Structure 1
Amino acid sequence: MSRRDGAGVAETATVIQPAFRPRSVRSAAGASVAAASRFAMPKAPAEPVEAMALSGLAALFDPASGTGHPPLAALVDVWGVLTDGARAFAPAIAALKALRARGVPVALVSNTSRRGGELARLLEGQGLSSELYDAVITGGGLAFGHLSAEVARRRAGGGDALRCLIVGTQPGGDWAREAGLRCVASVDEADLLLGFGVLGEGDPRPGAPAPAPDIAVRRLLRTAARSGLPLILTNADTSVRIAGALHLGIGALAPLYQSLGGTVRIYGKPGADMFAAALDAVGVADPGHVVMIGDTLATDIAGARDVGIVTVLVTGAGSHADELHVGVGGTFCAEALARLARRARVMPHHVMEAMQW
C-alpha cells in the first residue's frame, strides 16, 4: 500500500465546496454547516446498550477471542491515543507493531490542522515511526486540498486571490500561504476566516473547566458574520489536551458563529468525508470490517458509528479521562460512561483504558 497523507486524498474525498463570493454580493442570512461524503455508507447496527471492555486489541484481532471476525483495517486517533502531545505512548507503539506484524493496514485519523506529512514528522520526533502506519488523514489535509483547488479554479478563471484572516494558532505554523491564500490583518480585507489549531493558553489544572472564546474573539466573529464571511475550520475539536494542559479548540467557534448567522465549513471528524478518505486509504470498502480507536465520543466514536465502523473508546488518557476514571484509585467507572454516552447520544462498541495489544 502506498503511503499517502490527508492532502493526497482530499480532492477526491470532498464534493461540496463553500461559495466564495465577492464582497458586494455576500449574504449573512442563514447558518449552515456543510457536510459531504464521496459515497453513502450504511448506518451502524443497533446501538449497543453497553460497551464491552477490552484488555487490549488482541481481543479484537485474535480469531479465537470470540468477539467476531477480526477487523481488516484500523483507523487510529492520535492525541490521547498514541501520544499526549509531547511523547508517544510505549504500549500504543507496541500495539501498532503488532498490527503491522499481522499485515493490518493502519491509517492515523486526526482532527489536527496540520497536514498529514507535517503530523508524521511531529510524531517521528515523539518516537512514533512512520513505518508503523500506512496513511495519515487530517482535517488540515482535507482543508488544504479543498482550498488549494478553489484557489486554482479562481486563478484559471482570472479571479483575484482569496484573502483569509487567520483565527487561532497552529503550533509549528500554518499552510495558508502554501495553499495560495493571501493572509490579511482585518475582517474588512478578508474573503473568509480560516480557523487553525487552538485559541489562547492551555489550563494544566486537573479537572479544569472547558475553556470558552474570549471577548476579542467574539467581537471579531460578530463583525465577520455581519460581513457575510464564511468560517472555514481546519480542526473540528472543541478542546485539545496537549501535554496535560486543556486548550480551547478552534472547533468550538462553530456553534457560536452559527448563532451569529454565519456560515461554517468544518473539516474533520465526525464528518463522513473524513472517514470516506480513511477507508479509501486503507483499501477496505466495507466499514463494518474496520475498527476506529479514539478517545472522544462526539468525534471519533459518533463519526465512526454513523458510517458503520466498529468503535473502541480509549478512556485513560484522552478527552474523557477525568470524567470516566472516577472509581476508587482512579479506576474506570461504567456508570460514568453510561451518563456520558447518554449526553453524547452515542455508545462505543468497546472500551479500553489505553491503546495496547
Structure 2
Amino acid sequence: MTRIIPALSDVSSAYDALFVDLWGCVHDGVKAIPSAVAALQTYRQGGGIVILVTNSPRPRAGVVKQLAQFGVPDDAYDAIATSGDSARSAMYRGVVGNNVWHYGPDTDSRFFDPLEILDNPAPINRVPLDEAEGIVCTGPFDPLADPETWRADLEIALDRNLKLLCANPDIVVDRGEVREWCAGAVAKMYTEMGGESLYFGKPHAPIYDLARRRLYALDKTIVDDNILAIGDGILTDVKGAVGEDIDSLFISGGLAAAETKTVTQPDPAALNAYLEAEKFDPTFTIGHLR
C-alpha cells in the first residue's frame, strides 16, 4: 500500500536522482508551482540530480524556453527528456514513412526541425492526408473540441492503413483550471478504431531510455534502485515507473485531485479507492510536490 508523505525531503535522501514530470507537478500549464520548485532546488543543493521527464511533444529546447516563461528557474533541474525528442528520433528513422501528415496545431511545427544527432536521418516531408504514408500527431488541432470531430480524418487514415506516431501519450492536461485533450487521446481513438498507434513517451520505454542517457551523461554510477519517478499521471508516470521497476511518488493533487479528494493532502480512503480502481500502487503519495 502506498505511503502518504508530507514532503519530498522525507524520502529523497534514499535516491540519487529524480525523474520528474512537469505538467501538474512543477507547473500548471500557466505558471510554476513555487513549492515544487523549492523542493527540487533543495534536492539538487544536497547533491541529487533532477531529470525532467515530460510527455511534451516539443523538442528539449522548446521546453527550456517554456519553463522560463512559466517562471521555473534553471537551477531546479539538470536535464530534460521529452516525448517529443524521443518521437522525433523515431520519425527521422522513418518509422511512419517519409511523407507524413501532421495532425496537430501549427504551434508544434518545431517538431519537424532537423535532427542532427542521427546519422543519415530519413528525409521527412509534410504532405496532405491523401498523400501521406503515415501520421505524426502532436495533439488535436483544437484541444477543447469534442473528440468526435477527430473521427472523420481518422477514418480516412484508417482506410489508407496509415500508422500514427503519437508525440505525447497524455490523454488530458489541466492548463490552469481548463482541461485540454492531448495527442494520446487522438491515438487512443485511432487504436480503438482499429488503427496502429506508436508511442514514445511515458509510460513507454523509449522516453525512459532517453532519460537514462541524460542521467548517465551526468553520472554513470547511478542504478535504477536509486531513481525516484515523480508525477501526477497514474497511467503515465506511475505505470511507467512500475514498468521500469523504479520507485514512484504520485502527486495526487494533479489530474486525480477530485478522485482523491486532495486539497493539501489526499483523503486516505478516497486515495485507496482510486488506486484500487486503477490497479496501480505507487511507492509514495503526496498531495502536491513540496
* TM-score, length-scaled by structure 1: 0.73
Structure 2 matches for 1:190-339, cutoff 5 A? 190-202=132-144, 213-215=147-149, 217-283=150-216, 285-316=222-253, 318-325=254-261, 332-339=266-273
User: In 2, Cα distance between the equivalents of 1:75 and 1:350?
Assistant: 14
CA contact (8 A) 1:269 1:303 kept: yes
Tell me if 1:56 matches 2:7.
yes
Amino acid in the other structure paired with 2:212: L
Amino acid in the other structure paired with 1:114: R
From 82, 88, 99, the equivalent of 1:138 is: 82
Decide whether aligned partners of structure 1 residues 344 and 194 sit closer, same or farther in structure 2, where only a CA change above 3 A counts. same
Structure 2: stretches of 5+ with no match in the other structure: 116-122
SS of 2:85's equivalent?
Answer: helix
Structure 1 stretch displaced more, 225-234 or 259-268 = 259-268
CA contact (8 A) 2:50 2:79 kept: yes
Amino acid in the other structure paired with 1:182: N
SS of 1:225's equivalent?
Answer: helix
Decide whether aligned partners of structure 1 residues 171 and 59 sit closer, same or farther in structure 2, where only a CA change above 3 A counts. farther
Decide whether aligned partners of structure 1 residues 271 and 170 sit closer, same or farther in structure 2, where only a CA change above 3 A counts. farther
CA contact (8 A) 1:291 1:310 kept: yes
Q: Alpha carbon RMSD of aligned pairs, Å? A: 2.2
CA contact (8 A) 1:138 1:268 kept: yes
Structure 1: stretches of 5+ with no match in the other structure: 1-49, 63-69, 155-160, 203-210
CA contact (8 A) 2:24 2:232 kept: yes
- State the structure with bigger RCO (CA 8 A, min sep 6), 1 or 2: 1
Amino acid in the other structure paired with 2:261: H
SS of 2:47's equivalent?
Answer: coil
User: In 2, Cα distance between the equivalents of 1:253 and 1:305?
Assistant: 25
SS of 1:166's equivalent?
Answer: strand
User: In 2, Cα distance between the equivalents of 1:344 and 1:199?
Assistant: 29
Which position in structure 2 is the counterpart of 1:47? none
Structure 1 residue 289, shift from structure 2 partner: 1.1
CA contact (8 A) 1:199 1:248 kept: no
Structure 1 residue 256, shift from structure 2 partner: 2.3
User: In 1, Cα distance between the equivalents of 2:174 and 2:106?
Assistant: 14
Structure 1 residue 331, shift from structure 2 partner: 5.6
Decide whether aligned partners of structure 1 residues 337 and 198 sit closer, same or farther in structure 2, where only a CA change above 3 A counts. farther
CA contact (8 A) 1:198 1:247 kept: no
CA contact (8 A) 1:198 1:240 kept: no
Tell me if 1:175 matches 2:114.
no
From 12, 19, 22, the equivalent of 1:75 is: 19
Structure 1 residue 234, shift from structure 2 partner: 0.2
User: In 1, Cα distance between the equivalents of 2:185 and 2:176?
Assistant: 20
Count of matched residue positions in the alignment of Structure 1 and Structure 2: 279
Tell me if 1:86 matches 2:86.
no
Which position in structure 2 is the counterpart of 1:31? none
Tell me if 1:163 matches 2:99.
yes
Amino acid in the other structure paired with 1:59: D
Tell me if 1:105 matches 2:49.
yes
SS of 1:321's equivalent?
Answer: coil
User: In 2, Cα distance between the equivalents of 1:330 and 1:54?
Assistant: 12
Q: Deviations over 1:208-265 (max 9, x none)?
A: xxx85123x1111111111011101000001111122101111012332223332210
SS of 1:293's equivalent?
Answer: strand
User: In 2, Cα distance between the equivalents of 1:99 and 1:330?
Assistant: 21
CA contact (8 A) 2:249 2:283 kept: yes
CA contact (8 A) 1:113 1:170 kept: no
Q: Deviations over 1:112-167 (max 9, x none)?
A: 1011111011101211122321211111011112222339xx9xxxxxx8222111
Amino acid in the other structure paired with 2:76: L
Structure 1 residue 312, shift from structure 2 partner: 0.4
| Max Rg structure | 1
Runs of 4+ in 1 over 3 A off after TM superposition: 170-174, 177-180
Amino acid in the other structure paired with 1:76: V
User: In 2, Cα distance between the equivalents of 1:76 and 1:331?
Assistant: 19
